Amino acid sequence: MDLSKYPIKSIRDKIEKVNNILITTHFNPDGDAIGASLALLNVLKALNKNVSMISPNELPFFLTWMKSATEIINYEQQPHIANEKIENAELIFYIDFNSIDRLAKAGDSFHVSSAYKILIDHHPDPEEFADLIISETKIGSAAELVYEVIKEIGFEEFLNKDIAECIFTGIMTDTGNFSFSCAYPGVWENMSELIKFEIDRDFVFSQVYDNYSESRMRLMGYCLNDKMRIIPEINSAIISLSINEMENFEYKPGDSEGFVNLPFSISGLKFSALLLEKEDHIKLSLRSKGKFDVNKLARKHFKGGGHMNAAGCEASMSLIEAESLLIEILREYMTELQ
Ligand code: 5GP
Ligand code: MN
């Protein structure tokens, strides 16, 4: 990967000059957000920097095993501690998001901070909310981009097995366990380098994918049997879950991970959505196969965003209204969904 268009040396100088460094990522952080951020955090720790990480909200339980994950400050739970860190930060890394809105409640504090801000991201069309923007939309994960940046800066000597596992987790989860966004040689070259750190691939896989409760498995069955709505004329599937239904299956954050992709094993399906009822809004996860652009749909109709084949957004309405609105919108794209 050619990072020569970025002032990489200036990043190294900045890191060397400052002491208080902060890393943050997007709301509802996933394997890539946490893996990429913790890889960077652990490299900066090895450099003896006073570095912390803030997540806008709780991270899913299946990511808590990663090196230094227990040190992550949850902004929703500890806003005072988080705000103090933000005030004292001299350098901030924004990882794996393209708009300040994605920091949710933490956004205002970050926005007013006078620290130098560096964005490392792979989402399309990043907004200008950082002093330096490293944006590579062709790369499958922010974790891989962070790895490339670490190498380019010349911090390779600080890499180790734990850090390689963080990077691997990000690549693995953002490529759907190497099923999409990985059709380029670079990712396999990077994987071969990471494997040399003797990462425990089986351990990482089982922590992330085989670590759920029985009730989560039954919730999955309920979704597929009772809740999945197929709309054949637009090749779409929609699963909606109310708070009550989630409570019936002892739902905890992270339990619905992967549900939105399940309908794609149906032949010819082009679009899938998972709608989750929250206290004051509906969270929509949108996925597509092929050229149907869910990032555009999320942006245009719901002020959301993401990638072409995986995006998300929120809607302030009831679950039934959100589902009806989504179907109405999808019908406008009938020809693209054939
Ligand atoms: P998920 O559906 O798994 O929450 O997110 C899929 C993708 O869409 C990720 O890249 C995520 O960062 C992005 N995304 C999810 N929700 C939102 C949202 O509310 N706004 C924006 N801009 N992006 C989102
Ligand atoms: Mn990502």
Q: Which of these three, 209, 224, 247, is where a domain ends?
A: 209
Cα 91 from Cα 318, distance rounded (Å): 41
Print the domain residue range for 182: 8-209
pLDDT tens by residue, 230-272: 999 999 999 999 999 999 999 998 999 999 999 999 999 999 9
**Ligand 1 centre from 286 Cα, in Å?**
8
| Domain count within the chain | 2
Q: Examine the domain organization and report whether 198 and 261 are in the same domain.
A: no
Taking all residues of the chain, what is their mean pLDDT, rounded to a whole number? Answer: 97
Q: Is the CB of 163 under 6 A from ligand 1?
A: no
Q: Is 304 in the pocket of ligand 1 (CB under 6 A)?
A: yes
pLDDT at residue number 261: 96
36 lies in the same domain as 164: yes
Identify whether residues 166 and 281 lie together within a single domain. Answer: no
Ligand 1, atom 2, residue with closest C-alpha: 285
Q: Assess if residue 198 is contained within a domain.
A: yes
Residues 16 and 125 grouped into a single domain: yes
Residue 307 pLDDT: 94
> What pLDDT shows up at residue 26?
98
Residue 162: name the closest of 209, 103, 223, 204 by CA: 204
Q: Does the residue 220 lie in any domain?
A: yes
Question: CATH number of the domain that 90 lies in?
Answer: 3.90.1640.10
Identify whether residues 156 and 235 lie together within a single domain.
no
Is 159 found in the same domain as 290?
A: no
299 ligand 1 Cβ < 6 A: no
- C-alpha 92/C-alpha 63 separation (Å) is 22
Question: Per the domain annotation, does 3 fall within a domain?
Answer: no
* Mean pLDDT computed over 127-137: 98
Q: What is the dihedral of CA 81, 87, 92, 95, to 10 degrees?
A: 40
pLDDT in tens, 43-69: 999 999 999 999 999 999 999 999 999
Same domain, 178 and 292: no
Locate 36 and state its tokens.
């990429």
Q: What pLDDT was estimated at residue 14?
A: 98
User: How far is it, in rounded angstroms, from Cα 323 to Cα 318?
Assistant: 9
Nearest CA to ligand 1 atom 9: 306
* CATH code for position 288: 3.10.310.30
Tell me what pLDDT residue 134 has: 98
Q: pTM of the predicted model, to two decimals?
A: 0.96
